[in-house]
A and B are shown apart, each in its own frame.
Chain A
């Protein structure tokens, strides 16, 4: 990837609210160069969406999140993609990755409570023909999300000083 694009992504991934004008100043580029690069990345699907990182532990509503390891039998013509689509189309599925290793699909799901997650696995996932087995792991705590440590570290520095 071009340096400009990776620099812009670095800034947007830190805070996607920065305007092209501000990013241009930071990177010593013109506003147009930055805006064009962002538009191009959007068009190419490099930038999928602008969103907020939520630490749901701090939310008052209880939710249950789980990682489900899914083993599937790939289909002759479409490989893993078709069965993956059957899985990720479900509303409850928040993320879905094809893996190499002990299992095939890593499926992150979210539900209001344990029962809801259990029902999803038992009634929706396990009943798919291609699904051979599942293993459900409940997420207890998120220490770091998308490169950001959830417990913000305090700034312990001396607030103002000339002796440094």
Chain B
């Protein structure tokens, strides 16, 4: 029999650290700092809104783009919170931000088109580019530069085939953000090479010491930017699979066609939950989001301080809920450190190179876990580091 799997799927690399993850999953007494989602549960009023929508029988397909009321709220939300102006007609409600990434790549890539992907960054970008027929090109980011994109690094990576860049800030795994000034420094490069900017802003609500700035809010950038965002991280709604894309009209038309044919619409109950999240948020200036953000911020200070005191240099993350300390001072790769730590002290962290080559001497630690867990985990890490230093 033939192998029915097409070449693209065959060539997709399976996650290199599957085995490590399996060990963690089975080690029930291990403390995991490897979780990539909020430890908060979706606020009760949001859960209740979805339950009520089901009880009332709102269980049909919604319009392909999503509920008009939800899109109006999203347009207002993006405008009031991030000064990003896209009309509700150019917003598509998606099955998580993940669908947004896939949609954009499928709508944008012609065979051989190069898409810039910062390194390190979220693991799904490159595979989505590959599946769409594009070529992912890594742009290395370094701890010395707080993991931002610089005009120099961009210029080095850009070729005549470069079509778009993924701008993943606030960043998973580094916690890095890009300030208005830093964005203004790279925007001319995007314009000069006529690039589409795919701005994944799923962590936009989780920034510390300053509000998130969307590249789409810079003068002249909205027309060449597609903003991907969602409810998972801001409202602790990961399992609901609900996100959205805001795109300039031409691209929006293409995204809509693909979404329409492939997905139909996002789940209705999740859309009603999202309506409640935003409506309630406008009522009290997003107090629910703010209280979660404040709690993350405390943990962030605690764990960043811990790593720096322990001698694992850790730049101060200003976004998301991850720290990305360096294991270089121990002469160990992130993978060696993660394996050793798990075996010796039963604490799970993610080897940094899971997110790209540039993370080889780093580990990602999530602080989306209770202070009590962080407390125990950090004492155990301290023990392990002491042993490594011998």
Asked whether, in the complex, the Cβ of B372 is within 8 Å of the Cβ of A161, the reply is: no
Count of residues in B whose CB is under 8 Å from the partner chain: 30
Contacts known (A14-B371, A15-B371, A153-B41); A163 close to B299, Cβ less than 8 A: no
Q: Which residues 119-164 of A sit at the B interface, judged by CB distance below 8 A?
A: 153, 155, 157-164
Q: Which of A11, A153, A155, A159 is B298 in contact with, Cβ under 8 Å? A: A11
Interface size class of A (residues with CB under 8 A): 10 to 19
Binary CB contact string for chain A from 8 to 30 against chain B (1 if under 8 A, 0 otherwise): 00010011001000100111100
> Is B24 positioned at the interface, with any CB of A under 8 Å from its CB?
yes
Which secondary structure dominates chain A's binding surface? Answer: loop
B15 touches A159 (CB 8 A): no
- The answer to whether A157 and B298 have CB atoms under 8 Å apart is no
Question: B298, A164: Cβ atoms under 8 Å?
Answer: no
The complex places the Cα of A158 from the Cα of B34 at a distance, in Å, of 9
Nearest chain A CB to B357's CB is how many angstroms away? 15
B35, A158: Cβ atoms under 8 Å? yes
Query: B124 contacts which chain A residues (CB < 8 A)?
Result: 163
Most B C-beta atoms less than 10 A away, residue of A11, A15, A28, A159 = A159
- Do B298 and A26 touch across chains, with their CB atoms under 8 A apart? yes
* A-chain residues with CB within 8 Å of residue B36 when the two chains form the complex: 158, 161-164
Q: How far is the CB of A66 from chain B (nearest CB, A)?
A: 29
Docked complex Cα distance between A123 and B376 (Å): 50
Bits for B297-318, please: 1 = Cβ < 8 Å to A, else 0: 0110110010000000000000
Q: Mark A71-97, 1 if CB is under 8 A from B, else 0.
A: 000000000000000000000000000
- By a CB distance below 8 angstroms, the chain A residues around B39 are 155, 157
**Is the Cβ of A162 less than 8 Å from the Cβ of B24?**
no
- In residues 154-210 of chain B, which contact A (Cβ within 8 Å)? 173
CA distance A160 to B236 in the complex (A): 17
B355 interface residue (CB < 8 Å to A): yes
Known contacts being A15-B372, A164-B37, is A159 close to B24, with CB within 8 Å? yes
Residue of B nearest to A11 (CB): B298
Task: Give the CA-CA distance A155 to B173 in the complex, in Å.
Answer: 22
Q: Which residues of A have CB within 8 Å of B225?
A: none
How far does the alpha carbon of A28 sit from the alpha carbon of B304 in the complex, in Å?
12
Contact between chains at A162 and B350 (CB < 8 Å): yes
Smallest Cβ-Cβ distance to A159: which chain B residue: B32
Docked complex Cα distance between A17 and B340 (Å):
30
Interface residues of A in 1-54 (CB under 8 A from B): 11, 14-15, 18, 22, 25-28
Q: Is B286 an interface residue (CB 8 A)?
A: no
CB distance from A28 to the nearest CB of B (A): 6
**Is B348 on the interface with A (CB-CB < 8 A)?**
yes
Q: How far is the CA of A161 from the CA of B173 in the complex (A)?
A: 12
Q: State in angstroms the CA–CA spacing of A11 and B374 once bound together.
A: 14
Tell me, in angstroms, the Cα distance from A157 to B305 when the chains sit together: 26
- B21 touching A160 by the CB < 8 A rule? yes
Q: How far is the CB of A62 from chain B (nearest CB, A)?
A: 30
- B24 touching A160, Cβ below 8 Å: yes
B interface vs A, CB < 8 Å?
15, 17, 21, 24-25, 30, 32, 34-37, 39, 41, 122-124, 173, 238, 298-299, 301-302, 305, 348, 350, 354-355, 364, 371-372
Other CB < 8 Å A-B pairs besides A27-B298, A161-B37, A162-B15, 4 of them? Answer: A26-B371, A159-B32, A160-B348, A163-B123
A-B contact pairs, 14 of them (CB 8 A): A11-B298, A25-B305, A26-B299, A26-B301, A155-B39, A157-B39, A159-B34, A160-B32, A161-B35, A161-B37, A162-B15, A162-B123, A163-B124, A164-B37
